[in-house]
Amino acid sequence: MERFTGVILFLCGLLLLVHPTVSLPLCSDSTAPFTLNTTLKFCPYNGSVCCNSTQDGVIQRQFQRMNISDPACASLVKSIACARCDPFSGDLYQVNSTPRPVPLLCNSTSEKSPQSNQAATDFCSTVWDTCQNVTIVNSPFAPSLQGRAGVPTNSSTSKLSDLWQSKADFCNAFGGASSEESVCFVGEPVSLNNTELPSPPHGLCLEKIGNGTYLNMVPHPDGSNRAFFSSQAGKIWLATIPEKGSGGVLGVDESKPFVDLTDEVNFDTQFGMMGLAFHPNFAQNGRFFASFNCDKVKWPGCSGRCSCNSDVNCDPSKLPADSGSQPCQHQSVVAEYTVNGSASQPSLATTAKPSEVRRIITIGLPFTSHHGGQILFGPDGYLYFMMGDGGGQGGDPYNFSQNKKSLLGKIMRLDINNFPSPEDIDKLDLWGNYTIPKDNPFVEDQGAQPEIWAYGLRNPWRCSFDSERPSYFMCGDVGQDQYEEVDIITKGGNYGWRVYEGPLLFVPNSSPGGSTPVDSINPIFPVMGYNHSAISKNVGSASITGGYFYRSKTDPCMYGRYLYGDLYASAIWAGIENPENSGNFTSDKIPFSCAPDSPIPCSSTPGSSLPALGYVFSFGEDNDKDIYLLTSSGVYRVAAPSRCKYTCSLENVTSTVGSSGPTPSPPPSHASRSTNSWSNLMLLLTYVLLLLMTCS
């Protein structure tokens, strides 16, 4: 049996290799493409691009200095030089994390290309055949640039045939195959297939497994069936997740919290414990972090630096009182705690010490709203901290979100594994006890805070990294009067607020902090969202709650869709990307219902059969990638669709739906993975098992 398990694990590893993750459109400097209203003068790109007019001019001058006399070769080399402007240049110029001097040139005639729905042309051979005997000044195809051996040359003017011994050597260095998992350059802007958009699932089936009201859910880092839940008031509980189909409920004793921080947390409608994160190595180091609001009038340990200060041309003495409080009376805090000493091993700990190990950051709030507060560890091991624009009377009157000297309206990225000396904190003008990752986008920008990863957000409420494609960092950003948005967060990205509210131009009522001209920014517009008019007529307001890409086996028809909701409307949307890895999404508002055999019966909304969710505070994800809704009426888990009599052709119901629920078939992780391929895999595993039994 151990050998069979090893074979299964080995084959599962092979499956992951067969379907590697692919990044979304990304520039070669790891920033997101931006939108131009006109075509560049030299390079034939418009719309979503990675070059502005200045960079376009630089490319033109570099090309002109090559002094290529042959028109056919010059045309090809120009297209290659202009690939820097392609929205997929991050993929084209990075192969196995190694930067390239020229894009990956398509070099396969045996595979179908995902680009333009055509067979991949052997573009690399075309370049060689056309340019091999043409002189190029300071050729970008020099072997020294590529890091490969070739025929040495002592002249800055050379031919391909001088630099490389053969076409095979040249294309081995600069060519690559196009496949479903990568893009290569064919001499024109990359264009992915547009496939038929999959129809939305018939509905989302929910089961209620808990009655508690929680704001955060974090799976236990040890990979077990446990998760941490926290309340806005400041308590954290360790709970056991019931097995799917077991009929069990959330195993939590609310009289015995994992840790109680209510003495430090200021709890009110807009305040409380907003975020919770456990170190990726928690099982070894016992470190975890809480993000909360405090009141310096009630707790001396709350005091910190005010975000309204001279650096951002803001005078706190001139700010109007907001809801009876004074500017920076309240703070946003991220603090570190530990379970060390409470158990022999961190994974065995059922309680933690309520005293801070370390204050990571404290930010004084100018007003009493829009302070985000979520924290989470990224796949890179750094801590991401989401911060709103500070609130006030709406419209970000001091324009904090667009001001890169302010930390308000930003997503920050902090290194909490290396700590600065007190002298460095003062020297670097840090806001707390952390260091700045060297590749943060504004480290070298004297006009920006180095903590910033992305900016131009109003109030990011619930962000997540896709477990299958870590480059997809999704955030729901709360709108003001018109639009709620979902953004793909990228390094250095500007998401438009307050120049834009979603895709719509925004005109603030007042601007004591100054304005940002529309034509001075390249905003990244949302990939999904909804207008207030679509829901607010029934509920009177709207506020997005960001969610997760669904990666569980429980509902195979929901697999790969991004689930998100609205705080007030008890509405759920499912977004699908088409083509895959293109950044182009379509989302549908989907019906949902409660399983008749739900462990805890769901109460119904008056006048309908829909479960009464109340306020949808957050979404959660466990170690099995099942998705949860944290609402004011309790905790709900996404269940198999047939339990609610929803039709899903990918679900293989092998038994009558009852308390044990159906047995779903494994989901496809990409369009290329089909039910038939899973059947073939099972046949293969059966054959291997029989073979092992025979050999033993």
Tokens linked to 250: 């959330």
Q: What is the CA radius of gyration of the chain?
A: 27
Four-residue CA torsion sign, 158, 161, 163, 168: positive
Mean pLDDT of the chain: 85
Backbone φ and ψ of 389, nearest 5° = -80, 0
Predicted local distance difference test score (pLDDT) of residue 652: 73
Predicted local distance difference test score (pLDDT) of residue 366: 94
Q: How much of the chain exceeds pLDDT 70, in percent?
A: 84
Segment 383-392 shows an average pLDDT of 94
Sequence-distant (≥ 6) Cβ neighbours of residue 89 within 8 angstroms: 26, 27, 28, 50, 83, 103
Residue 492 pLDDT exceeds 90: yes
Could you tell me which residue, 660 or 223, shows the higher pLDDT? 223
Q: How far apart are CA 296 and CA 329, in angstroms?
A: 6
Q: How far apart are CA 384 and CA 482, in angstroms?
A: 28
Q: Residue 370 in 3-state DSSP?
A: coil
Tokens linked to 303: 């005091």
Predicted local distance difference test score (pLDDT) of residue 15: 38
Ordered DSSP codes for 526-545: PSEEEEGGGTHHHHS---EE
Q: Which of 206, 207, 204 is nearest to 599 (CA)?
A: 207
Backbone φ and ψ of 89, nearest 5° = -65, -25
Backbone φ and ψ of 393, nearest 5° = -85, 15
Contact between residue 637 and residue 597 where contact means Cβ atoms under 8 Å apart: no
Segment 189-216 shows an average pLDDT of 87
Q: Which of 205, 129, 218 is nearest to 166 (CA)?
A: 129
Contact between residue 488 and residue 464 where contact means Cβ atoms under 8 Å apart: no
Predicted local distance difference test score (pLDDT) of residue 511: 87
Could you tell me which residue, 26 or 330, shows the higher pLDDT? 330
Contact between residue 296 and residue 331 where contact means Cβ atoms under 8 Å apart: yes
Please, where are the H alpha helices in 350-435?
Answer: 422-427
Give the HSE-up count for residue 103: Cα atoms under 13 Å, Cβ half-sphere: 36
Angle made by CA atoms 24, 30, 33, in degrees to the nearest 5: 60
- Write the single-letter amino acid at 266: N
Per the document, the length of the chain is: 696
Predicted local distance difference test score (pLDDT) of residue 323: 66
**Predicted confidence band at 432 (pLDDT cuts at 50, 70, 90)?**
very high
Beta strands per DSSP E along 187-286: 204-210, 216-219, 226-230, 235-240, 259-260, 273-278
Helix then strand count (H, E) for the chain reads: 12, 36
Residue 12 pLDDT exceeds 60: no
Q: For residue range 271-322, list pLDDT tens digits in order.
A: 999 999 999 999 999 999 999 999 999 998 998 999 999 999 999 888 877 7
Predicted local distance difference test score (pLDDT) of residue 669: 33
Q: For residue range 65-124, list pLDDT tens digits in order.
A: 999 999 999 999 999 999 999 998 988 887 666 788 899 998 864 343 444 433 346 889
Could you tell me which residue, 95 or 429, shows the higher pLDDT? 429
Q: Which of 286, 284, 411 is nearest to 351 (CA)?
A: 286
Q: For residue range 215-272, list pLDDT tens digits in order.
A: 999 999 999 999 999 999 999 999 999 999 899 999 999 999 999 999 999 999 899 9
Long-range contacts of 212-215 (CB under 8 A, 24+ apart): 212/237, 212/250, 212/252, 212/254, 212/634, 212/635, 213/617, 213/630, 213/631, 213/632, 213/634, 214/617, 214/618, 214/630, 214/635, 215/272, 215/273, 215/274, 215/617, 215/618, 215/630
* Ordered structural domains, the chain, with CATH: 22-176 (no CATH), 258-458+479-542 (2.120.10.30)
Predicted local distance difference test score (pLDDT) of residue 407: 98
Q: For residue range 35-60, list pLDDT tens digits in order.
A: 887 788 999 888 889 999 899 999 99
Q: For residue range 523-532, list pLDDT tens digits in order.
A: 999 999 999 9
Beta strands per DSSP E along 478-615: 483-488, 500-501, 504-505, 528-531, 544-549, 562-566, 572-577, 585-589, 592-594
Angle between helices 71-82 and 53-66 (to 10 degrees): 150
Tokens linked to 302: 């709350």
Predicted local distance difference test score (pLDDT) of residue 30: 79
Residue 692 pLDDT exceeds 80: no
CA 213 from centroid of its chain's CA atoms? 26
**Predicted confidence band at 28 (pLDDT cuts at 50, 70, 90)?**
confident
Backbone φ and ψ of 149, nearest 5° = -75, 140
